Structure formats: structure tokens, C-alpha cells
Structure 1
Amino acid sequence: SCKHHLPPGPRSALTAMAAPSTAPAAANGQRFLILFDFDETMIAENSDDAVVRAAPGQRLPDWLVAAYREGHYNEHMQRVLSHLAQQGVGEDAIRAALEKIPPTPGLAALFQFLRAHPHDYEAVVVSDANTYFIETWLRRFGALPLFRRVFSNPAGFDAAGRLVLRPFHAHACARCPDNMCKQVILREYLARRQEERGGQAFQQVLYVGDGANDVCPSLALGPGDVVFPRRDFPMHRLIEAAAGGGGGTAPLKAQVVPWSSGEDVVACLQTLGKER
């Protein structure tokens, strides 16, 4: 569960970027920002793998698998989607494959909690999947309206019926793949939202993830923020290694609350809500 003794004052190094307004947070929107990864955080597998099951024989040819280069996953997925189109796999088949993906354990309870507290939480998706996969799945589960923004690689079907994927942005972070640094997305979003909220920072930033690329944004969070790594997944292992002085990554400043079920996250959020 969450620790109860959060430090007073600005809740986060990031959210204290501008002088806090004296107006109450409620006047300018939600108190908490919660960010979610998608693959293996919201859904129980990788959406790219699920879509491959729409291919003939439910697998990719060996030459396509062998063409993957480390750090160039986005390019690889563009080739996979082109291959599917060439094999006659259309939008209906891709959508059906996505809609069959089960949620992670307890995710329904977590979504239900956010639905019940719309005035406290602003929710955002930050994922290296793509907008079509994420929005299709969230729509199927009736959860798309919960999220103010979906930050992911843009994707849409072209006139030939091929799902075309584009990189999200370019950045200078050496830790992250060429097409996406989640820390850059997080920092820019917080700065923009603070301006839009009349200078009012979020009291607290919460980040729910599982993968290695979820560590970079977590490093930006302050002592009053909370990072939820999925237990025994790469993000959790990397954070534990960093806390022990290994792994080449600095220890996090934020509280770390590992989760196995969305209900673990809910239990923590319930304590946060009561504290204030």
C-alpha cells in the first residue's frame, strides 16, 4: 500500500515548475494526474503480438522476424503491418484481434475507481504501441472517455487498406528508442497543463507501467509522486537494481508501489484520496 507520510509543500519536482497559484486545485481541475502505459499494463499481453494472430497461420515469416533491429521496433512494426495488408488482413480482422485481448488482472476495478472520482483524477495514456490499437481496445471496453489524451505513435488506414504507423516524435534522450521518450512527453504535458490550469500544478503525479521504457519518465517524478511498476516485469526489476546501486540508472525519487493487480493500485489511490 502507499506510505501515508508524504512530504508537505510541492508534491513533485516537476509540478513545482511554476509558482503555485493560491487558488484551490478544485477550481482549476483535478488534483492528481495518473499516466498509464498500455501493453502489459492495461492489457494482458503485447498488442503487436495479438495482431500477428490475424496473419495467415497466426505467425510472421522467418525473414520478417529476422529483420528486426534492436532500438528500431517502430520500423519493424511498420513492416509487419505492411505484410499483413499484403496477406489480405484487413481492418475488420485487426480490430477483432485487438478486441479479444483480455485486460490485466484488476484493471476493471481500477477503471471503475477512476470513473467514480472524475473530479480528482486526470488520466492519460503514454505508450509506444499506436493510437489505432489503443483507442480500438479502450473503446471496446468502454474506457476511452476516461482518458484526456492518448500519446502514442499515430496510426491509421490508408486508401489501400494498410494500417500505416508513424513515429511519435524525435528527441535527444539516449535512454529511449528513436521514436519516443516518455519523459519528454510527460514534462511537456505537465508544463502545458499547468499553464492551461492558470498556473495550478497537479498535487501529485502517478505513473503505472511495466516496461523498460517506463523507467525514463519515472526518473522525472519527485518525492511526493508515486510510481507503480508491475511486479516482476522489466520496469520493476530495473527500479530494484537502481535502488540497490546497480543497473546504470539513478534511484527514483518517487515512492515505488509494485502492483500485480489493478486492485493494488486502487488500494493506494484510496489512501491518497483520504489524506487530503
Structure 2
Amino acid sequence: FLKKTPTSQFSPSNPPHAAPQEQRFLVLFDFDETIISESSDDAVVRALPGQKLPDWLRNSYREGHYNEHMQKVLAYMAEQGVSKDSIHSAVVKIPPTPGLLKLFQFLQSHQQDFELAVVSDANMYFIETWLEHTGVRHLFRKIFTNPGSFDATGRLVLLPFHSHSCSHCPDNMCKQAILRDYLSGRQKERGGAAFQRVFYIGDGANDICPSLALGPQDTAFPRRDFPMHKLLLEVQHFKANIVPWVSGEDIADCLKKIMEER
């Protein structure tokens, strides 16, 4: 179980987002099995009295419609009397992926160089709850994920993030569309200055699509032997650098070398 990180370790040196506008690098993180060590959806299901879903609900999942499936799962959990406190407790107990807190320490100490964002098919309640509990929420300028919040009856209500025309992605989220929109929007906000390099850290099949938008100066960090890593090895003419990782410290080591190049 995750022990709450002492606030001194990650206390913001500036108010959130007060870092200079001209950070050189953008780092995008997936959440499930990238920042945290498992799927947040799976962890929360263990808050059910029997700690698992009934077969009829598990088998109702349709490929490409995971968001819709999770809406049903959360409705079922509310019917079973799973409280907001139980869900909160399940989320904050999820351990970080090995070395990720060391990576966050490194990025915090170089906030003038790195802008951070989350791009995840989880939901806002899970992600914000975990990041705040761990003391790292202030490091992230933006979180792109499915809306998730508790309604008046105490049920966690999940919505799709957006609609899109990409045939390779789940119906509720194309991470490449998010990445492209964010890069163009930030370039305008930065007076026309693009990021020197973009780094994308992920693990899953849905992390391939955004990685295809990366250029020759950029780096995709697939978690070693996870679906993103295996699928990237099959992509022909992939433009960006590929650096597989086991621990967040592997990523920090690579970023240190890139900073030393300049």
C-alpha cells in the first residue's frame, strides 16, 4: 500500500503552474499501469463486497466501448452500496509504478524545463484523487481524461471525454487528437514557440496512436514488455526515438542525458 508521501518531498516551490512559460520540453503521461502500478478500474472493483464483478457484467464489455462498460460497472457498484469513501480508499491505496516517485522528484527539481500533462482513459476523479494524495498534483499543468464525479445520490458518474473520427481508438478518446490539439494550442499561447522535444510515457495499446504523432527529436517511452512496447516494435518507419523502461528511474536517467546534450 502507498504510504502518503511526506509533503516536504513534493511541496510546490511555487504556486501551481507558476513555472515560467517557456519550458523547453513537454512530458505526457498515461495513468493506469504507467504512473500507478495497475488499472485504477480494477483496483476500485475490489471495493465490491465480493471484490469482483459478476460474469454477466464482465461479459457485457464490447471492444472499443470500454468507457460505456465502466459506466455500467460504476452504476452496479452504487447499487451494491459501495460508498464514495470506499472508492476513495481503494484509489489512494494503489501503489505507484516502481521509480515513478523518483522521476517526479527529478521533474520537480527541473520544473523550469519540463511541462507535464496526463493523457488517460481513466477518469478525473481517480486521477486527481491519486495525484493529490501522493502530493504531485501541482506538477501537472493539464489532465486530459474522461469526466468522473459523484452525483447527489453518491454514485460516481462517468462520461466520455470527446468524440473523434480516428478508426484506431476507443470511441470516447483518441490520444493523438488530444496531443495534436494541445501542441498547437500551447504553441499559440507561447507566442509561436514550439516545445523543443515531446516525451510520451505509456504502456497500453491506446498509447500507440499518440506516439505516431511524435517527430524525430521526440521520444516514446513504452513500459517494457507491455502492449505499447510490443506494438511499437511492429511499427514501420516510426519517427521518434523509442526508449523502453522498467522503472521511472530509467526515464529520469534518459531525460538527464538529453538535458546534458544542450
Partner of 1:257: 243
Matched position secondary structure for 1:101: coil
Normalising by structure 2, report the TM-score.
0.92
Alpha-carbon distance in structure 1 between the residues aligned to 2:20 and 2:163: 35
1:77-226 aligned at under 5 Å gives the runs 77-226=70-219
In our comparison, the structure showing a higher alpha carbon Rg is: 1
Alpha carbons 1:99, 1:140 under 8 Å: kept: yes
Alpha-carbon distance in structure 2 between the residues aligned to 1:60 and 1:206: 36
Alpha-carbon distance in structure 2 between the residues aligned to 1:94 and 1:148: 25
CA deviations 1:185-211 (Å, max 9, x no partner) are 000000000000000110000000000
Alpha-carbon distance in structure 1 between the residues aligned to 2:46 and 2:145: 22
Alpha-carbon distance in structure 2 between the residues aligned to 1:140 and 1:132: 12
Q: Percent identity?
A: 66
Pairing partner for 1:232 from 202, 225, 229: 225
CA deviations 1:76-132 (Å, max 9, x no partner) are 000000001111111100000001100001001100001100100000000000010
Alpha carbons 1:107, 1:262 under 8 Å: kept: yes
Offset, 1:251? 3.5
Q: Structure 2: which amino acid aligns with 1:273?
A: M
RMSD: 1.1
Alpha-carbon distance in structure 2 between the residues aligned to 1:136 and 1:29: 29
Partner of 2:6: none
Q: Point out where structure 2 has 5 or more consecutive residues left out of the alignment.
A: 1-18
Distance 1:27 1:125, change over 3 A: closer
Where relative contact order (Cα < 8 A, 6+ residues apart) is larger, the structure is 1
Offset, 1:27? 7.2
Q: Point out where structure 1 has 5 or more consecutive residues left out of the alignment.
A: 1-25, 243-249
Matched position secondary structure for 2:233: helix
Normalising by structure 1, report the TM-score.
0.87
Matched position secondary structure for 2:201: strand
Offset, 1:28? 4.1
Alpha carbons 1:28, 1:200 under 8 Å: kept: no
Alpha carbons 1:186, 1:217 under 8 Å: kept: yes
> How many matched pairs?
244
Q: Deviation above 4 Å: which 4+ runs of structure 1?
A: none
Alpha-carbon distance in structure 1 between the residues aligned to 2:167 and 2:76: 30
Partner of 1:272: 258
Distance 1:27 1:139, change over 3 A: closer
